[in-house]
Chains A and B, each alone.
Chain A
């Protein structure tokens, strides 16, 4: 996916290229940590916590500039920094009073350019000014800020293009560029260390951030960032430090402490999804159950449901799927519920659970096949005898077993349209879409032939390959076998990336309107993703808007919409979009969107 940094990366790459070679890098302040022989890099401490004294009069240029533009946050940081340089210094009383123009040249235009991250332009304007007024010298503070901004740009540019050693080198050359007020760069430095397999240094960098940067939100975000690279033990240490070290007045660090628990929940849920039966300890399981109940987390409950379903603990699975469906009804939760009831042998309950979604969700239609399975797998009516071997395989989501059973059934008693169609669905689950498409096409051809046989050969045996007994269940708007097969082929073609051909063929395809709408929506989602990669951001929004008319927008497309808005520089809308996704369920992706957009809006890099 197009990363959010596109705009700034492009801008800064240009800046870095322009500025290369003309920078007088500021030297590292005291307190830098030795990171490699002869190299010192530091995350500059929070304004105010520095200890390097400076002789002489402090430079108030930046201070007055921040006061003039009303940037309170930076003003405070600058006051703290100046106080750290000179403990006896007090902010001027006339800070907010209109200032007479300083003798010589007004630096405001240069600061404005710098503030808009137009470093190269600021340099050019300064050079032009010096040409006009050769005796004029820009203030030290301005030059220092320009150097820092250039270095920050260099770090970002190197990081965006994964030139990790250059990130480290640039940070070493200018530690100010990875200060707390440029936290994103400090994160990039830590990431560079991690990518260079220098885990200790990555950890050190994260540790310095969480113990020196004063804001709780920044410390918390750092822990989330670090979670990608650090071990649980290191994260625990980081969290403890972040929650206690160098507390700033008015900051609530309890949110830092909860970060670890949130990460732990995420990890447990992930393990739950991949866990083999019994892989989780009782303590882990009980902990995650508690968290899921407390947060009424429907996705977590579904994950728990599948965990128990895989263990054939259908009663427990049913309870969690029911819980999930109660908290947030969805076809995902209903699917689990249908299969859990089926595992318990309660077919009527399973059908009832499916009813709100029947004919509307392929997931549910698929699950119903386990309840009223395709016949032809070896004799007679299987209904009264409980779930067949194939049902049980499907209920376990064991699609390899599904293929095995179908293969042996076909070898024993020949193919039926229903079996071939089921094979298609199982192949799709096994990420073999091309073979799945062929299976659906074969099922289609066989279904077309079967009625011609006049239903003599086991009329119930598949009824042209369908998997249900529609008349009895009174399904409204039920897809015909031909439509099911056409739909299966379309899903398979989507999975192979044949979007162009599918778009062309869809209007003529024999599917129900609901099936067509679902495929159309998927095509639009695919095309929107492609448009984002091609940087056609208006197209992204156009496609997502059209898709929204057909079906609600899932969160991944909500995030996509956010990045499209961001790249169109509609930052406020992008922020609102990310925030709304994040408020519903906060994930790494949604947090990244919120954080980056916020920083862009407030120039808080």
Chain B
């Protein structure tokens, strides 16, 4: 290949200026192209959008549920939202003939591990507060159509502290919807985890609400780093 007449030797002032100008032009062109979306970039940053749900084995879930004949694990799936959120749904058996799946949903919010991650975060996948009376009514109407819902006056406590719940009943069945936000990242959560949100929906035959809540009361989080339990912290 014939040599070109352009010299890049450091001794040549003219050539250096030419090289610098070329480099500058290249950088400018690249910057223009990149910022104008003409270099194969998509318009929006899709890395912050939730991925589609994918199936996982129950063993890959960050939770262990007590064995239950009425509420066995039927399926499990997960998805990511950005690098910050991992969401899981555990579908449980539903012994009733009522519509809707029994399930435990878990959202784990981790802290970003880079400056860029901290600057570009996806919108939070769960609201805080988890429910207002309006959103709770809308949710229970959707979850338990045609049933009368009662909001429990007092919270209950599981391994990770207090949680709130509603109950519904008809002639043959009862249902519960419980929700909990674990956000004590000073004492309870490991350093890298900002919050864990749990939501549990179960319908069963009969009127024993405690039995319905037993899986939620007895669940144990199995995240890579230990989440301390309420009893570890003494009186919370």
Which residues of A are interface residues toward B (Cβ below 8 A)? 399-401, 403-404, 407, 430-435, 437-438, 496-501, 530, 533-536
Q: Answer whether A432 and B99 are a contact pair too, CB < 8 Å, given A533-B49, A534-B44.
A: yes
CB distance from B47 to the nearest CB of A (A): 11
Contact B44 A535, beta carbon cutoff 8 Å? yes
Number of A-B contacts (CB under 8 A): 57
Is there an interface contact between A437 and B44, defined as CB atoms closer than 8 Å? no
Contact A430 B100 (CB under 8 A): yes
Smallest Cβ-Cβ distance to A435: which chain B residue: B74
Whether the Cβ atoms of A534 and B49 lie closer than 8 Å is yes
Please give the distance in Å from A203's CB to the nearest CB on chain B.
21
Contact digits for B97-110, partner A, Cβ 8 Å, 1 yes 0 no: 11111000000000
Distance in angstroms from A540 CB to nearest chain B CB is: 13
Bound CA–CA A430/B77 (angstroms): 20
Partner of B52, one of A400, A401, A433, A497: A497
Contact in complex: B52, A496 (CB < 8 Å): no
Residue from B43, B74, B97, B100 within 8 A of A535 (CB atoms): B43
Q: How far is the CA of A530 from the CA of B74 in the complex (A)?
A: 26
Decide if B55 is an interface residue (CB 8 Å cutoff). yes
B44 and A434: CB pair below 8 A?
A: no
- Please report the C-alpha to C-alpha distance between residue A434 and residue B54 in the assembled complex, in whole angstroms: 13
A434 close to B98 (CB less than 8 A): no
Residues of B within 8 A of A400 (CB): 97-99
| Cα A435 to Cα B43 with chains together (Å) | 39
By the criterion CB–CB under 8 Å, are A432 and B94 in contact?
Answer: yes
B18-56 contact mask (Cβ, 8 Å, vs A): 1 or 0: 000000000000000000000000111010010011110
Structural contact, A438 and B74, CB atoms closer than 8 A: yes
Nearest B residue to A429, CB-CB: B99
Q: Tell me the bound Cα distance from A595 to B233 in angstroms.
A: 60
Tell me whether A434 and B49 are in contact (CB under 8 A): no
With a CB–CB cut-off of 8 A, which chain A residues contact B94?
432, 435
- Assuming the A-B contacts A501-B55, A534-B44, A535-B43, are A432 and B101 also in contact, with contact meaning beta carbons closer than 8 angstroms in the complex? yes
Please judge, given known A-B contacts A497-B52, A534-B49, A536-B42, whether A438 and B75 are in contact too, CB under 8 Å. Answer: yes
B175 contacts across to A, CB distance below 8 A: none
A401 surroundings in chain B (CB, below 8 A): 97
Give the residues in chain B near A535, CB-CB below 8 Å: 43-44
A498 in contact with B77 (CB, 8 Å): yes
Of B42, B54, B99, which one neighbours A431 at CB under 8 angstroms?
B99
Q: Among A399, A430, A437, A499, which residue has the most Cβ atoms of chain B within 10 A?
A: A430
A515 to chain B, nearest CB (A): 21
**Shortest beta-carbon contacts, A-B, top 9:** A434-B91, A400-B97, A434-B75, A403-B97, A430-B99, A497-B53, A434-B74, A500-B52, A432-B101
Per-residue CB proximity of B57-98 to A under 8 Å, as 1/0?
000000000000000001101000000000000010110011
Q: What CA separation (Å) do A431 and B75 show in the bound complex?
A: 15
Closest Cβ–Cβ distance, residue B128 to chain A (whole Å): 17
> Which of B42, B49, B91, B93 has the most chain A CB atoms closer than 10 A to its own CB?
B91
Contact of A435 with B42 at beta-carbon distance under 8 Å, contacts A430-B99, A430-B100, A533-B49 already known: no
Chain A residues with CB below 8 A from B100, complex form: 430-432
Whole-angstrom distance between the Cβ of B203 and the nearest chain A Cβ:
10
Chain A: minimal CB distance from B102 (Å): 9
| Set of chain B residues within 8 Å of A501, measured between Cβ atoms | 54-55
Give the nearest-CB partner of B142 in chain A: A431
Note all chain B residues with C-beta closer than 8 A to A500. Answer: 52, 54
CA distance A535 to B98 in the complex (A): 37
Residue of B nearest to A536 (CB): B42
User: B43, A499: Cβ atoms under 8 Å?
Assistant: no
Q: List the A side residues contacting B91 at CB < 8 Å.
A: 434-435
Contact A499 B99 (CB under 8 A): no
CB distance from A543 to the nearest CB of B (A): 14
A533 to B50, CA, bound (A): 10
Q: Which residues of B contact A497 (CB under 8 A)?
A: 52-53, 77
Q: With A and B bound together, what is the CA distance between A416 and B94 in angstroms? A: 20
A302, B194: Cα distance in complex, Å? 51
Expressed in whole angstroms, the Cα–Cα distance for A435 and B91 within the complex equals 8
Determine the chain A residues whose CB is within 8 A of the CB of B93 once the complex forms. Answer: 435
Tell me the bound Cα distance from A432 to B201 in angstroms: 13
Closest residue of chain B to A539, judged by CB?
A: B42
6 sample A-B contacts, Cβ–Cβ < 8 Å, listed by A number: A432-B94, A432-B101, A434-B74, A435-B74, A435-B94, A501-B54
A433 to B100, CA, bound (A): 9
Shortest Cβ distance from A427 into B: residue:
B94
How far in angstroms is the closest Cβ of chain A from B151? 21
Least CB distance from B125 to A in Å reads: 14
Nearest Cβ in chain B — how far from A193, in angstroms?
Answer: 17
Chain B residue nearest to A407 (CB atoms) is: B97
Q: With the chains together, A488 CA to B224 CA distance in Å?
A: 37
Which listed residue (B54, B75, B97) contacts A437, Cβ 8 A?
A: B75
Q: How far is the CA of A159 from the CA of B55 in the complex (A)?
A: 38
* Contacting pair B99 A498 (CB below 8 A): no
Report the minimal beta-carbon distance from B52 to chain A, rounded to whole angstroms. 5
The CA of A533 and the CA of B42, in the complex, are separated in Å by 14
B101 contacts A433, C-beta separation under 8 Å: yes
What's the nearest-Cβ distance from chain A to residue B105, in Å? 13
Instruction: Tell me the smallest distance from the CB of A440 to a CB of chain B, in Å.
Output: 13
Closest chain B residue, CB of each to CB of A493: B55
A167 to B54, CA, bound (A): 40
- Select from chain A the residue with minimum beta-carbon distance to B54: A500
User: Chain A nearest CB: distance from B177 CB in Å?
Assistant: 15
Whether A434 lies near B101 (C-beta < 8 A) is yes
| Residues in B whose Cβ lies below 8 Å from that of A407 | 97
- Inside 8 A of A533's CB, which chain B residues have their CB? 49
Chain B, residue nearest A430 (CB): B99
Residue of B nearest to A426 (CB): B97
- Which residues of chain A come closer than 8 Å to B99, judged between CB atoms? 399-400, 430-432
| Residue picked from B54, B75, B93, most chain A C-beta under 10 Å | B75
B52, A435: Cβ atoms under 8 Å? no
How many angstroms between the C-alpha atoms of A438 and B92 in the bound complex?
Answer: 12
Interfacial chain B residues near A432, Cβ < 8 Å? 94, 99-101
Say yes or no: A499-B49 contact (C-beta < 8 A), given A401-B97, A434-B101, A438-B74.
no
A434 to B44, CA, bound (A): 33
**Contact, CB under 8 Å: B46 / A498:** no
Within 8 Å CB of A437, what residues of B? 75
Residue of B nearest to A492 (CB): B75
Enumerate chain A residues within 8 angstroms of B75, measured Cβ to Cβ.
434, 437-438, 496
Apart from A434-B75, A435-B91, what are 15 other A-B pairs with CB-CB below 8 Å?
A400-B98, A400-B99, A430-B100, A431-B100, A432-B94, A432-B100, A433-B101, A434-B91, A434-B101, A496-B77, A501-B55, A534-B46, A535-B43, A535-B44, A536-B46
